[in-house]
C-alpha cells in the first residue's frame, strides 16, 4: 500500500510538472497588445534586445520553478508520513515525557533539518540562476549565512507555535483551531512590531539615509501625507542583488520607510521620490491595517478548514499515513501539507487584493507628485533591473503577482494623465 501511494504521488507530481512545463514554455505568451506596441509600456521601447531575451528566458524558468516547488514540498510531506519517518522522529525524542517544549523542539529540528537538506538543491539552483542572469551579486558564503539564519529563525518560531498548537489540540480536539486563532492575533501583531528592529537586522545593516538632502525631501513628502516619521532608512543590498526595492515596514513606533541602496544608486531623485510617494500611499490608505485584518481573517478560515480536514484524512487514510491520532506530534507534516495547500489555492484572491492596493498607492503617488515621467521611467528601470515580464501569462499573474504587471502600471499612469489633460 505504501509503495502504491508513493508511486501514485510521484506520477501525479510528474504529470503536473510536465503540464506546467508546457504551459510556461510552450503556450502562447501574453505578449503586448497591438494598441500598446511602440508606447512607453512596450519593453521593446526601453529594453535592449539582450535584456528582452534574458527577461523572457529568466521569467519562464522562475515561473516554472514557482509552480513546481510548492507541490514538490507537499510530496515531501506525504513521503515523510507514508514511509514512517515522522513516527520515527517522534520515537527518537530522547526524553520519555512527550509533548513538552524540549521534546517538540527535537522533533521540529529533525523535520526542519530533513526539509532543509531535501530542498537545498532547489534553493541552490534558484541562487545560481539569479547569479547567472546578473540579478544576484551575493557570494556563496553570504547566501549560506542567510540560509542558516533563516533556518534558526524559522525553527525558533515554529517550536513556539507547534508547542502551543499541540497543547491546544490536547486540550480540545474540536475547538483547538479557534483558540489557536485567538492566540495568533497578538502573536502576529507582535512579530510585525519587532520585525524591523529584531529580525531584519539579522540579514542586513540598516542606517539613516546618508543623502540628507534627499532625506529632507522625502520627509517633507511624509509631512504632507501626515506620516509621523523622523528618519528614512537605507539598507545595504548592493552586495546581494542588482534588483531595486523600497518599502514601509513595521507598525506603531517601529514603523520604517526603507530604501535599498541599489535603488538610490540607479534611480534619479524624481524617480526615488515617486517610489517613496507610492510607499506613503500605502500608509495613507491604511493598507498595512487592512493587510493585518485580511491575514487574521485568512487564518480564521484556514485553521477552521484544517480542523475539519485533518480528522477526516486521519480517519480515512491514517493507516497509510501512519498517523495514530491528531494530537500526536507526528501528525505535524499533515498539518503543514494542508495549510500549505490552502495558502497556495487562496493566493489568487490575496494577490488580487494586493494588486488593488498597489494600484491605489500608484494613484496616490501621481496625485502627490504629478510627475508621470518619473513614474514611467521608475517602472521601466525596475523592469530592467529585475528582468521582469511586463505582461505574464494569466496563471502566472494570478498566483505570482502581488503587484499589477508593469504593463498595467505604466498604462494606468499614462491613461490617468491623459484623462486629466
Beta bridge partners of 233: 208, 258
Report the alpha-carbon distance of residue 117 to residue 138 in Å, rounded.
21
The closest of 113, 70, 131 to 337, measured between CA atoms, is 70
- Cα 185 to chain center, whole Å? 20
Report the alpha-carbon distance of residue 182 to residue 178 in Å, rounded.
6
Q: Please identify every residue annotated as catalytic.
A: 279, 362
Per DSSP (E only), the strands in 206-318 are 206-208, 232-235, 246-249, 256-260
Q: Are 233 and 208 in contact (CB under 8 A)?
A: yes
Grid cell listed for 201: 537586522
The closest of 355, 414, 205, 371 to 272, measured between CA atoms, is 371
Report the alpha-carbon distance of residue 86 to residue 78 in Å, rounded.
10
Q: Are 254 and 150 in contact (CB under 8 A)?
A: no
List phi, psi (to 5°) of 268. Answer: -75, 170
| Mutual angle of helices 332-369 and 269-284, in 10-degree steps | 120
287 is in an annotated binding site: no
358 is in an annotated binding site: yes
Report the alpha-carbon distance of residue 309 to residue 404 in Å, rounded.
34
**152 Cβ neighbours under 8 A, 6+ residues apart:** none
Report the alpha-carbon distance of residue 410 to residue 415 in Å, rounded.
9
DSSP class of 195:
I
CA atoms within 13 A on the CB side of 144: 5
Beta bridge partners of 241: 136
Query: Which H helix or E strand runs over 340?
Result: helix 332-369
Report the alpha-carbon distance of residue 5 to residue 154 in Å, rounded.
30
The closest of 194, 197, 166, 165 to 182, measured between CA atoms, is 165
- Annotated binding-site members for Zn(2+): 278, 282, 358
Amino acid at each position: 500500500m505504501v509503495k502504491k501511494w508513493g508511486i501514485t504521488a510521484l506520477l501525479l507530481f510528474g504529470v503536473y510538472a510536465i503540464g506546467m512545463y508546457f504551459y510556461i514554455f510552450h503556450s502562447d505568451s501574453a505578449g503586448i497588445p497591438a494598441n500598446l506596441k511602440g508606447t512607453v509600456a512596450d519593453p521593446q521601447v526601453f529594453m535592449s534586445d539582450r535584456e528582452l531575451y534574458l527577461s523572457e528566458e529568466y521569467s519562464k524558468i522562475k515561473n516554472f520553478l514557482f509552480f513546481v516547488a510548492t507541490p514538490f514540498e507537499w510530496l515531501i510531506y506525504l513521503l515523510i508520513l507514508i514511509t514512517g519517518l515522522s513516527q520515527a522522529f517522534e520515537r527518537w525524542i530522547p526524553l520519555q515525557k512527550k509533548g513538552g517544549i524540549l521534546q517538540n523542539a527535537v522533533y521540529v529540528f529533525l523535520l526542519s533539518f530533513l526539509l532543509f537538506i531535501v530542498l537545498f538543491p532547489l534553493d541552490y539552483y534558484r541562487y545560481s540562476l539569479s547569479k547567472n542572469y546578473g540579478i544576484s551579486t551575493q557570494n556563496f558564503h553570504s547566501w549560506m549565512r542567510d540560509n542558516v539564519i533563516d533556518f534558526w529563525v524559522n525553527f525558533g518560531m515554529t517550536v513556539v507555535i507547534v508547542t502551543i498548537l499541540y497543547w491546544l489540540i490536547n486540550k480540545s480536539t474540536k475547538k483547538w483551531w479557534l483558540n489557536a486563532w485567538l492566540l495568533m492575533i497578538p502573536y502576529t501583531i507582535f512579530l510585525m512590531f519587532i520585525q524591523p528592529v529584531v529580525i531584519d537586522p539579522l540579514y542586513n545593516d540598516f542606517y539613516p539615509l546618508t543623502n540628507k538632502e534627499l532625506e529632507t525631501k522625502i520627509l517633507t513628502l511624509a509631512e504632507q501625507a501626515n506620516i509621523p516619521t523622523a528618519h528614512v532608512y537605507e539598507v545595504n543590498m548592493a552586495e546581494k542583488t542588482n534588483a531595486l526595492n523600497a518599502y514601509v515596514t513595521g507598525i506603531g513606533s517601529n514603523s520604517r520607510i526603507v530604501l535599498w541602496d541599489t535603488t538610490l544608486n540607479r534611480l534619479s531623485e524624481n524617480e526615488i521620490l515617486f517610489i517613496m510617494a507610492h510607499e506613503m500611499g500605502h500608509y495613507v490608505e491604511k493598507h498595512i491595517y487592512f493587510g493585518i485584518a485580511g491575514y487574521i481573517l485568512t487564518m480564521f478560515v484556514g485553521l477552521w478548514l484544517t480542523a475539519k480536514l485533518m480528522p477526516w484524512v486521519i480517519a480515512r487514510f491514517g493507516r497509510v499515513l501512519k498517523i495514530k491520532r491528531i494530537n500526536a506530534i507526528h501528525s505535524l507534516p499533515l498539518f503543514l501539507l494542508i495549510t500549505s495547500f490552502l495558502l497556495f489555492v487562496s493566493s489568487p484572491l490575496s494577490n488580487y487584493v494586493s494588486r488593488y492596493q498597489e494600484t491605489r498607492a500608484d494613484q496616490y503617488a501621481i496625485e502627490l507628485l504629478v510627475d508621470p515621467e518619473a513614474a514611467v521611467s521608475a517602472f521601466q528601470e525596475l523592469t530592467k533591473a529585475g528582468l521582469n515580464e511586463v505582461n505574464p501569462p494569466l496563471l502566472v499573474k494570478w498566483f505570482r503577482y502581488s503587484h499589477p504587471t508593469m504593463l498595467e502600471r505604466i498604462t494606468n499612469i499614462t491613461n490617468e494623465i491623459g484623462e486629466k489633460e
